[in-house]
Structure 1
Amino acid sequence: MYDKAKEDLSWALRLNENCLKSWLLLAKANFESKNFKEYNKAIEDAIQRNPGDAPFIRDFKASLEKEDKDEGEAKAGKD
């Protein structure tokens, strides 16, 4: 499901390697597909290429991870 998205985002980043939106969507696609190595790489690349947006990127990362944790806790509570 996420493979096509990751492929499209890789192409988008070839066209504009500094596109923050593409980096964050790539990070999210990797996170959702449990590819945490590539997730962290996309976050680091986003920060490296957009250092002025580093606080926003870190907030995005924290929000994504918190959302996942909250969903896991909610699911565990239903069991």
Structure 2
Amino acid sequence: MKTRFITFVVFSVLIMQSIGYSQLWVYQTSGTAQHLNDVYMFDASSGWICGDAGTLLKTVNGGQNWTQVAAT
């Protein structure tokens, strides 16, 4: 009985944490028709997205806005 209770408590805490973290994602349009493959954040502000056909997007404000960058 005690093992079941502990299992229930651990499971409940894990579920509550995952629900809280899901609110950190915000849907945005990318401004490109290409498939996006990877996101890399250097820190809380700066990051890059790479996609098909040489697509590169850059953010300097934590992902609130993304700017398409020409691959050289």
Q: TM-score, normalised by structure 1?
A: 0.26
Q: TM-score, normalised by structure 2?
A: 0.28
Which one has a larger percent strand, Structure 1 or Structure 2? 2
Q: Higher RCO, 1 or 2 (CA under 8 Å, sep at least 6)?
A: 1
Which one has a larger percent helix, Structure 1 or Structure 2? 1
* Rg (Cα) greater in structure: 2
